[in-house]
Chain A
């Protein structure tokens, strides 16, 4: 009984930390940057919602969309990573590693080659790019009985192929390359509402649906045969999960480009400190992912202010050592999902 209480208490604390991180990151993200706001400025601007002051413009059209974008992308990629890891029963999988982000990236590159820079069409194409890649990897893994290591290799191969096609598109349509560098590494500097709104809706709806499917995700991770034995249509469920994971990754890529490591780092961290049970894993990944990416983005904006680093650089600096740490632990390749 004591253990039960402790466990519940521990999860409670972790939720409190996650929510605090989310809120602090959001507030700091709005206040800090090349132009710094005080908290009182923020209140003034909010009270005079139709104000034409430069501060109000910065707040409503620069800071707010940017913070919303980083919160949403962080949440989307972290949850997408947790789902992909669960469905492929592979802890080393994540949207960026198995090529899902690259698939969405190719779709976005193609879109910009054809002059689509935002809106529903961009999100939709990004989703198709991500979904086609994740289904290819998942189908290959199932068809050839590929081991967990092979799935990662397939993902690496897909990453190279899709990256090469993107590079080819950029060679033939040089205009696309203007946004290419920041896009490859992940960046929130060009966020506009027209890009943000469709992706935001997709992300919020997908995370809510995934939360309602948390028991299904747990059962799927018991292995195909046990899940079927519990009456689950595993083929349909796996496709549904991968579709939602692709929707999340695609939406995030359509806003911020190829942000890597969030989808790997956050689910791993949450699993280690909190829980593997999907009803905790999904909301905690969303909160920590959102908080982490937003803090990284704020840091990227202020560290060399008024110059900005793409957020991907900051995240890679944090993500790579963590990834090596996981490899070093030796559990990843044989990780039990």
Chain B
């Protein structure tokens, strides 16, 4: 069980998160939703220690991860930022850097690291991209490579900040499928996502945020049924039941 308790945090002296608490379960996708500027990305960065918190705890099975060093946190939480540099290093090298937290100076990757990378590339079905420089790939392939790097980090928690941004529809669906598979393998997945319909269809749990606070947490069905999404985003949502699954749509009010 991952418990995020009373996190207060932000940038410099500006408090963006006002006592945020939520829970997440292994094997589930938890999607954080909310309007722009409500503190979603700030929350992810606070959970993994990239932004220092004013107060609060991140408890993984009772252990406060924020009390650990950045390197120790990196062995438990993988974080994929929304803004990524695209260096022209090969995909294999990028994924290998996922093993970075496990090495100390002088960091030379070991045989077991290369094996871990091979396994991850097979899992992500990107073996053929191994020797291609990252900047020669499409946006979707780059995103897959970055997710593979997070996987190579071999953590129980993966935080994804808008993993589908800038991707075409086909790649968005592929990435979400892979996110689902990661959760199925027993990891805690917490992702910030702007597309409400995808969030409701993919996630097991929805955390709804507004102005630095968690407004509601629950299953997609429950959140939808309260009608709170319509209010917060000033939209009209609808759903249809196709092939034993709910599909969601948004429209202007």
Contact = CB atoms under 8 A, between A and B. Distances in A.
Interface of A: 3-4, 7, 89, 212-213, 215-216, 218-219, 221-223, 225-226, 228-233, 271, 275-277, 336-337
Contact of A337 (B48, B87, B109): B87
| Residue among A222, A228, A229 facing the most chain B CB atoms (10 A cut-off) | A229
Nearest to B68: A231
Nearest to B87: A221
21 contacts: A3-B131, A4-B130, A215-B100, A215-B109, A218-B87, A222-B97, A225-B83, A226-B85, A226-B146, A228-B50, A229-B78, A229-B80, A230-B74, A230-B100, A231-B74, A231-B101, A232-B71, A233-B70, A276-B88, A276-B89, A276-B133
Contacts of B69: 231
A222 B81 CA distance: 10
A218 B85 CA distance: 11
Interface in B33-85: 45, 48-50, 69-75, 77-81, 83-85
Contact of A218 (B86, B89, B130): B89
Given A222-B84, A223-B84, A225-B81, A277 B90 contact: yes
A230 B96 CA distance: 11
B153 A212 contact: no
Contacts of A226: 79-81, 84-85, 146
Contacts of A233: 70
Contacts, number: 93
A267 to B, nearest CB: 13
Contacts of B73: 231
Contacts of A337: 85, 87
Contacts of A4: 130-131
Interface in B89-148: 89-90, 93-94, 97-98, 100-101, 103, 105-109, 130-133, 135, 146
Given A226-B80, A231-B100, A221 B85 contact: yes
A225 B47 CA distance: 13
Contact of A222 (B45, B85, B103): B85
Contacts of B80: 226, 229
